[in-house]
Structure 1
Amino acid sequence: MTFDDVSKVFVTGDGTRVQALDGLNLAVSRGEMVAIVGQTGCGKSTAFNLLLGLFAASSGTVSVQGMDPHGDFEALKGRIAVVFQDGRLLPWRNAQDNVALGLEYQGVSKSDRAAIARDWLARLGLEGREKAYPYELSGGMRQRVGIARCFALNPDIILCDESFSALDELTAERLRGEFLRLVKDEGKTGVFITHSIEEALTVGDRVAVFRAPGHVAAEFERPETLSEADLSRMRKSVRDVMATHPSP
């Protein structure tokens, strides 16, 4: 997926023009997990929504598997899945039925989607909780259901929007590790948006630091073997870029 000199301007009700992205260039290779980090207002969410095809770019080209995610929205259905911050589970559906939701929209038979949902719940450590409703699950369990729902679709691309920021750090760390193992084991491509430098360095094969208005100030590639000294240097480099290019 690529952003090629992408700009996005929003016009408010009073006619004010807001430049959310300005000349964004970023490429994500197949099988790569890219973490996007930056201060509030730097354009992370706008870039995320462009990948989802929720609106079109004002200029430049957004491409996902050679297609325009806005213009070719229907063709990309099922190829992209999202893990949201709050799980976004339907409270009137149990865990199994929440996981099966996307499969239901895709027309998968009831028996097949039930089997797929049970399998993914088991892989996420929720065997025996298939019939539990969201209010009966902890925050970490609800997020596991959301992750299971994402992988059940067998998408090519997984997008994450602050996916673990609502959890306590111990739960987030554990889930983050399980999620990353699944991404690698299943050969998925990912984009992970976060405001946390530490999380970006943990998650990303590459870290893209956004600055306002919406372009990449710097990129850092994480080596396969990362010593504590390497991590400390990368952490300082990302922090320095963010401090040098603050959002308004």
Structure 2
Amino acid sequence: MSMPALNEAPQIDAGQVISLCGVRKQFGGYRVIENLSFDVRDGEVVTLLGRTGAGKTTVLNLIMGTTQPDGGSVSVAGFDPFRQFKALKGRLAVSFQTDRLLPWRTAAQNVELGLLILGEDRKSARAKAAQWLARVNLGGAEDKYPHELSGGMRQRVSLARALAVDPKLILLDESFSQLDHITSQSLRKDFCNVARDFGKTCLVVTHRIDDALEMADRVIVLGPGARIMLELPMALARKDERIRDDYRSQIETALGGHQDGKDH
């Protein structure tokens, strides 16, 4: 069977934005990912939850195309992210644990950077940057530099930067883990409101149960070797506190009774 051209997306289920099938990855003699399969569908917010060492970061790197699986297949927006890395430019955005803002650029200049790289003219990019800062509740902070912003505000700038390029997929890598409880809770809520208003597909990688319970349409709990220990749809849990408490208990059990999954 012939392989697709590097910028040509193969024919797959149009509703799948991420698809992993039978993925394996090994570093040296250590099998980080045993045999992982899951999908993330268009407009879905999925949380990949696991303890340190469960393979979450490796899964994220496979999806971003920065590493190649030893076996199985990875598809993102219909492309092989490793072989067709350039084809995903502008289709995928990432917000990391640290905000990674450029200290010599203002909030608006940081947000517009991705747009400028994609060829948007400066006037249009600046207007979109201001709009997205307002959408993450940072209107009026356009001209402030990172050192003038709190940690939560800097992370909002980082999220606005990810959203501004209008990606098909947003990856959040422990984006709220360095924030205090109140700031983290507020930012999770605001981000989810924006993501759902604009129909964004999101994969949230985290070790914190609160991130999963408050953000996800579906939670996938990973154990060692990136084995799926538990998978839960969250629609009912968002409406019923008793179900949410039951899900928390199930997740804690799947994580081996580990309690470090809450905000502190």
Place the TM-score, normalised by the shorter chain, in its bin: over 0.9
Match of 1:221 in 2: 233
Q: Sequence identity, in percent?
A: 43
Matches of 1:169 and 1:112 in 2, distance apart? 36
Unaligned runs of 5+ in 1: 12-16
User: Residue 14 of structure 1 corresponds to which residue in structure 2?
Assistant: none
- The aligned amino acid for 1:195 is H
Does the Cα contact within 8 Å between 1:26 and 1:216 map onto a contact in 2?
Answer: no
Residue in 2 that maps onto 1:127: 139
1:41 has 2:58 as partner: no
Q: Which residue of structure 2 aligns with residue 240 of structure 1?
A: 253
Aligned to 1:29: 41
Q: Report 1:118-197 matches (<5 A).
A: 118-197=130-209
Q: Counterpart of 1:52?
A: 64
Aligned to 2:223: 211
Structure 2 distance, partners of 1:214, 1:155, is 26
Which secondary structure does the structure 1 equivalent of 2:54 belong to? coil
User: Aligned pair 1:231/2:254, yes or no?
Assistant: no
Q: Which has the higher contact order (CA 8 A, sep 6+)?
A: 1
Question: What amino acid is aligned across from residue 198 of structure 2 in structure 1?
Answer: E
- Could you tell me which runs of 5 or more consecutive residues in structure 2 were left unpaired when the two chains were aligned: 1-17, 259-264
After TM superposition, give the deviation of residue 66 of structure 1 in Å: 1.7
Deviation at 1:244, TM superposition (A): 7.4
The normalised TM-score by structure 1 is 0.93
**Per-residue Cα deviation, 1:17-47 (whole angstroms, up to 9, x for no partner):** 2211110011111111110111110000100
Question: SS where residue 123 of structure 2 aligns?
Answer: helix
Separation in 2, partners of 1:57, 1:186: 32
Q: Secondary structure at the match of 1:74?
A: helix
Report the counterpart of residue 24 of structure 2 in structure 1. Answer: 7
Q: Which amino acid aligns with 1:226?
A: K
**Structure 1 residue aligned with 2:94:** 82
Q: Say whether the 8 Å CA contact 1:53–1:70 is kept in structure 2.
A: yes
Number of equivalent positions: 240
RMSD of the alignment, in Å?
1.3
